[in-house]
Amino acid sequence: MPDLAFRPSPALDAAVIAREAFVASVFEALRAESADGPGVTRTSYMAGEQRAHDRIAELARGLGLAVSVDAAGNLAARFSGRRRDLPAWITGSHLDSVHIGGNFDGAAGVIAGLTAIAAMIDAGLQPERDIVLMAFRAEESSSWFVGRHGGHLGSRAALGLLWEGELDSAIHVATGRSLRAMMTEAGFDPARIEAGPPILRPVDYAGYVELHIEQGPILENRDVPVGIVTGIRGAYRVRNGRVRGAYSHSGAVPHEYRQDAVFAMSDLVMALDGEWARRRAAGEDLVVTVGRFATEADRAALTKVPGQVDFTIDIRSQSRDTLDGMEAFLRGQAARIEAERGVAFTLEPFDRSSPSPMAPALVAALEAGADGLGIARLTMASGGGHDAQDFADAGIPAAMIFVRNDKGSHNPDEAMEIADFMQATRVLANVLWAQAGKA
Amino acid sequence: MPDLAFRPSPALDAAVIAREAFVASVFEALRAESADGPGVTRTSYMAGEQRAHDRIAELARGLGLAVSVDAAGNLAARFSGRRRDLPAWITGSHLDSVHIGGNFDGAAGVIAGLTAIAAMIDAGLQPERDIVLMAFRAEESSSWFVGRHGGHLGSRAALGLLWEGELDSAIHVATGRSLRAMMTEAGFDPARIEAGPPILRPVDYAGYVELHIEQGPILENRDVPVGIVTGIRGAYRVRNGRVRGAYSHSGAVPHEYRQDAVFAMSDLVMALDGEWARRRAAGEDLVVTVGRFATEADRAALTKVPGQVDFTIDIRSQSRDTLDGMEAFLRGQAARIEAERGVAFTLEPFDRSSPSPMAPALVAALEAGADGLGIARLTMASGGGHDAQDFADAGIPAAMIFVRNDKGSHNPDEAMEIADFMQATRVLANVLWAQAGKA
């Protein structure tokens, strides 16, 4: 483990600050190339994402970095250090967005890494170790892929973390084609991912630092520009939930003969609401979301008892015990409601991703970096999943810097201030330099 | 009020029974001409409904009846009595179906009326009073029309019950055009409906009797073929309900910052569930249905706190007090949830149709008719709305005969047995004859 003490570089810090206009221009270029109504759409493994990759690759080449694309389509731009034999550092994030999303979720981390490297070059600093800027594919897999998959398909492919069969069971929502087909059509090499050792091997890398906008309102509400992430919540998920009852006449069928899918699902939602309140009161870390709750568009009607509801459930916590407890509660309540209301729930496939703690020493280095630069910071959990968790899961020390963001993510109203982004990027650049600048 | 005592006619009853093959052939013809996947689709004021009207008109002409079409497109086939100066009787129902519905809802009442008249002709019986078979348009208006309207558009148009502006505010779901435009394009005369006195005036008619399949499972579960209806439940309805919250990140936003539309609506549904149970236990007549509960198809996602839900609510009871009590409860709960969960409900337009009692003397005549024919019958409420209620609302004595039906209505699985239909039609024919056969 390298020495994680903070060594600030006034020249580097000044060079980061001087890149503010560059930063604004890159964000604007990405936005212009993927504008979609009120927001941006950069669809994973399709044209919107590709245009962003092309733009970042062009800028990286302009800085003299060695640009390559891996078998999964992830972009790597390598800033060579003096000691190519030492494990390198990686910084970056993803370039895809959700459908009609915001311009900052993902792209901010790539632009921050690019800016940190550009500032080192501007300041005439060459690190001992290589610093690799990476832009991952398909981090927004929950939006772009259905079927059986574990999310974050680009970074997990590079880290050798895809499940057996996942290349074929992850199905793109826009095309109905498998991840394998999407990669192949885009010119990448899924066979290499399947056959070879991981593209990113822990032995080759000293650590991973990712900047990302906060996706919740905590920094905004606490009036702090920068967050240092201690860990990423695990998520237990029902992606394709369904409850089936029976359609019948809304006026003519008495209560005792009904099998009402809406009452059944509402019962389950309120049961989750109550259990969530109980666990919050007990101090547990937990969020519960039923993002989709939909009767059938072509069969539901004012005058029909509803016979089917499709739904999703997303339960997240930093505690594995809490997640396991909520799963047991969910299954118990579904069984109760089936018996009481004459319906049948489908909760499978039930996805479980465990909480991913960030590397404590790297968290401490980021805290020290912010403190050393006089930048206010809050140490906090990440509620959202990020590529950083896959690095942690693969055994590469990982940490994250959050940037205050007023309006949440995954929507056109993301409202990150460039001033906050610059403060977070100063922390990123200085800490990267402190880590990679020496052997 | 005419004498309602039952006078059975053995010749007429035998003639009804002899029409069984005719009945089966008419149902089959209607089904063949409107088959749509597993069911039938006879869209109001469009081709499917029109084909059924054409078929019935042709059969009525074949019987020598005087066929006419009114300004709203309703079909009337008049069997002339000896005394054209006396108020006539009407029997009939509607010929439209819901989208991919069943073959019996509506059509059964028209075929029953046609069969009753055919049997009188077969038996050489001419009534004193005219008997008019009517086939109404657009009874399934809840399925076929959105916008502001009161349902049952065909019969209400003929009875002079349309609201001010309803010809323009009722919008057809298949075309997006107003009821006025649909009528005009089909060759009818909405200006006559607006300008003139009612097409069907209470002074001209002695009563209305409608046969219809039961839309619930009560006759099936009680093992009785025929129901005599005492009244039609009123319905209080939210046709275009919406609850707005705010979209946010499912993992990153803590409970206190959420404005979750699905939790809010589920809370409302479970509140209604509890109140319904309380009123059932107190012996009140009540059914409550949330037929539609839908997050936005293009914005909802596994990883987003849902910001909007669209819904319908249909509350029905034979008691106006119960309906008013449920409306007050609904509004109170919506206000509570708005305050607790940071959301905003839209419950307007809030439609109220009052319960419609059937004419007691005519109900008694139908009971006596079934009893006199030795046909088992159950006296019961109608949960569904029917054209009969509009006659009652207009001041024309009305009653209904239900036929046992195993699988509910508004779906392709409607399972009325022809044997049950024949028993109900025997009641209809004999009671019509008892009423219209004499001056």
pLDDT in tens, chain B (439 residues): 444 456 679 999 999 999 999 999 999 999 999 999 999 999 999 999 999 999 999 999 999 999 999 999 999 999 999 999 999 999 999 999 999 999 999 999 999 999 999 999 999 999 999 999 999 999 999 899 999 898 999 999 999 999 999 999 999 999 999 999 999 999 999 999 999 899 999 999 999 999 999 998 999 999 999 999 999 999 999 999 999 999 988 988 889 999 999 999 999 999 999 999 999 999 999 999 999 999 999 999 998 999 999 999 999 998 999 999 999 999 999 999 999 999 999 999 998 989 999 999 999 999 999 999 999 999 999 988 899 999 999 999 999 999 999 877 778 888 899 999 999 999 999 999 999 987 6
Distance (Å, rounded) from C-alpha B31 to C-alpha B134? 19
Cα A102 off chain centre by: 14
Instruction: Examine the pLDDT at A308 and tell me if it is beyond 80.
Output: yes
B300 contacts chain A (CB < 8 A): yes
Is the bond into A197 cis (omega within 30 degrees of 0)? no
Average pLDDT over residues A205-232: 96
List the single residue in A257, A266, A410 with the smallest CB-CB distance to B270: A266
User: Is residue B167 a contact partner of residue B179, using CB atoms and an 8 Å limit?
Assistant: yes
Query: What single-letter DSSP state applies at residue B319?
Result: -
Amino acid A384: pLDDT? 86
Instruction: Examine the pLDDT at A4 and tell me if it is beyond 90.
Output: no
CB contact under 8 Å between A293 and B301, yes or no, is no
Tokens of B164: 């001010």
Amino acid B438: pLDDT? 79
Mutation test of the interface with chain A: which of B96, B276, B302, choosing the one with the most A Cβ atoms within 10 A?
A: B302
CB contact under 8 Å between B292 and A295, yes or no, is yes
A273 contacts chain B (CB < 8 A): yes
Distances (CA, A) of B424 to B59, B216, B371, B413: 21, 17, 12, 20
Q: Can you state the angle between helices B10-18 and B107-122, rounded to 10 degrees?
A: 120
Q: In chain B, positions 315-334, which contact chain A (CB-CB < 8 Å)? A: 316
List the single residue in B216, B270, B304 with the smallest CB-CB distance to A291: B304
B252 contacts chain A (CB < 8 A): yes
Q: What is the nearest CA distance from B369 to chain A, expressed in angstroms? A: 24
Average pLDDT over residues A390-403: 97
Q: What is the nearest CA distance from B12 to chain A, expressed in angstroms? A: 32
Residue A348 class from Cβ within 10 Å (0-12 exposed, 13-18 middle, 19+ buried)?
Answer: exposed
User: Is residue B286 a contact partner of residue B330, using CB atoms and an 8 Å limit?
Assistant: no
Tokens of B87: 């108020």
Q: What is the nearest CA distance from A232 to chain B, expressed in angstroms? A: 10
CB contact under 8 Å between A302 and B309, yes or no, is no
Q: Which residue of A has its CA nearest to B384?
A: A251
CB contact under 8 Å between A382 and B269, yes or no, is no
Query: What single-letter DSSP state applies at residue A246?
Result: B
Tokens of B434: 């008892």
Q: Can you state the angle between helices A261-281 and B261-281, rounded to 10 degrees?
A: 110
Nearest residue to B302 via CA among A272, A237, A297:
A237
List the single residue in A252, A304, A409 with the smallest CB-CB distance to B249: A409
Q: Which residue of A has its CA nearest to B250?
A: A289
List the single residue in A215, A252, A306 with the smallest CB-CB distance to B249: A215
pLDDT confidence tier of residue A2, bands split at 50, 70 and 90 = very low
CB contact under 8 Å between B218 and A254, yes or no, is yes
CB contact under 8 Å between B250 and A314, yes or no, is yes
CB contact under 8 Å between B253 and A280, yes or no, is no
A314 contacts chain B (CB < 8 A): yes
CB contact under 8 Å between A295 and B297, yes or no, is no
Average pLDDT over residues A238-260: 93
How many residue pairs bridge chain A and chain B with CB atoms within 8 Å of each other? 240
One-letter amino acid for residue B75 of the chain: L
Amino acid A196: pLDDT? 84
Amino acid A8: pLDDT? 79
Chain B partners of A249 at a C-beta cutoff of 8 Å?
215-216, 383-384, 408-410
Instruction: Examine the pLDDT at A3 and tell me if it is beyond 70.
Output: no
CB contact under 8 Å between B252 and A305, yes or no, is no
List the single residue in A233, A247, A293 with the smallest CB-CB distance to B251: A233
Paired with B229 in beta bridges are B380
Q: What is the nearest CA distance from A100 to chain B, expressed in angstroms? A: 9
Q: In chain A, positions 201-230, which contact chain B (CB-CB < 8 Å)? A: 214-218, 221
Q: Beta strands B35-36 and A131-136: pairing type? A: unpaired
Tokens of B304: 């987003």
Mutation test of the interface with chain A: which of B218, B230, B250, B353, choosing the one with the most A Cβ atoms within 10 A?
A: B250
CB contact under 8 Å between A251 and B214, yes or no, is no
Q: Which residue of A has its CA nearest to B268?
A: A266
Cα B75 off chain centre by: 17
Amino acid A1: pLDDT? 40
Amino acid B1: pLDDT? 40
Query: What single-letter DSSP state applies at residue A252?
Result: T
Chain B partners of A337 at a C-beta cutoff of 8 Å?
none
Q: Which residue of B has its CA nearest to A234?
A: B251
Tell me the per-residue pLDDT of A382-396, one tens digit each, with 9 for 90 and over.
988 899 999 999 999
Q: Which residue of A has its CA nearest to B238?
A: A302
Q: In chain B, positions 12-31, which contact chain A (CB-CB < 8 Å)? A: none
Q: What is the nearest CA distance from B295 to chain A, expressed in angstroms? A: 6
Amino acid B6: pLDDT? 65
A340 contacts chain B (CB < 8 A): no
CB contact under 8 Å between A384 and B221, yes or no, is no
User: What is the average pLDDT score of chain A?
Assistant: 95
Q: Which residue of B has its CA nearest to A255?
A: B287
Q: Which residue has the higher pLDDT, A265 or B2?
A: A265
Cα B372 off chain centre by: 28
Distance (Å, rounded) from C-alpha A334 to C-alpha A339? 9
Q: What is the nearest CA distance from A303 to chain B, expressed in angstroms? A: 6
pLDDT confidence tier of residue A6, bands split at 50, 70 and 90 = low
A87 contacts chain B (CB < 8 A): no
Q: What is the nearest CA distance from B61 to chain A, expressed in angstroms? A: 35
Mutation test of the interface with chain B: which of A99, A238, A262, choosing the one with the most B Cβ atoms within 10 A?
A: A262
Q: Beta strands A170-172 and A145-147: pairing type? A: antiparallel
A270 contacts chain B (CB < 8 A): yes
User: In sequence order, which residues have a C-beta less than 8 Å from that of residue A263 and are 6 or more positions away?
Assistant: A341, B269, B270, B273, B290
User: In sequence order, which residues have a C-beta less than 8 Å from that of residue A147 and are 6 or more positions away?
Assistant: A169, A170, A171, A178
Tell whether pTM > 0.80. Answer: no
Chain B partners of A298 at a C-beta cutoff of 8 Å?
99
Q: Which of A87-96, A345-354, B58-67, B259-268 has the lowest mean pLDDT?
A: A345-354
List the single residue in A280, A306, A316 with the smallest CB-CB distance to B251: A316
Tokens of B69: 């079409």
Amino acid A7: pLDDT? 64
Amino acid B7: pLDDT? 65
Phi-psi region of B113 (alpha: psi -120 to 50; beta: other; left: phi over 0): alpha
Q: What is the largest CA-CA distance in chain B?
A: 81
Instruction: Examine the pLDDT at A269 and tell me if it is beyond 90.
Output: yes
Residue A321 class from Cβ within 10 Å (0-12 exposed, 13-18 middle, 19+ buried)?
Answer: exposed
Across B61-152, where does the E strand assignment appear? Answer: 66-69, 75-79, 88-94, 131-136, 145-147
Chain B partners of A309 at a C-beta cutoff of 8 Å?
293
Amino acid B4: pLDDT? 47
B378 contacts chain A (CB < 8 A): no
Chain A partners of B302 at a C-beta cutoff of 8 Å?
142, 237, 239, 291-292, 312, 314
List the single residue in A143, A270, A300 with the smallest CB-CB distance to B292: A300
Q: Beta strands A234-244 and A308-317: pairing type? A: antiparallel
Amino acid B389: pLDDT? 96
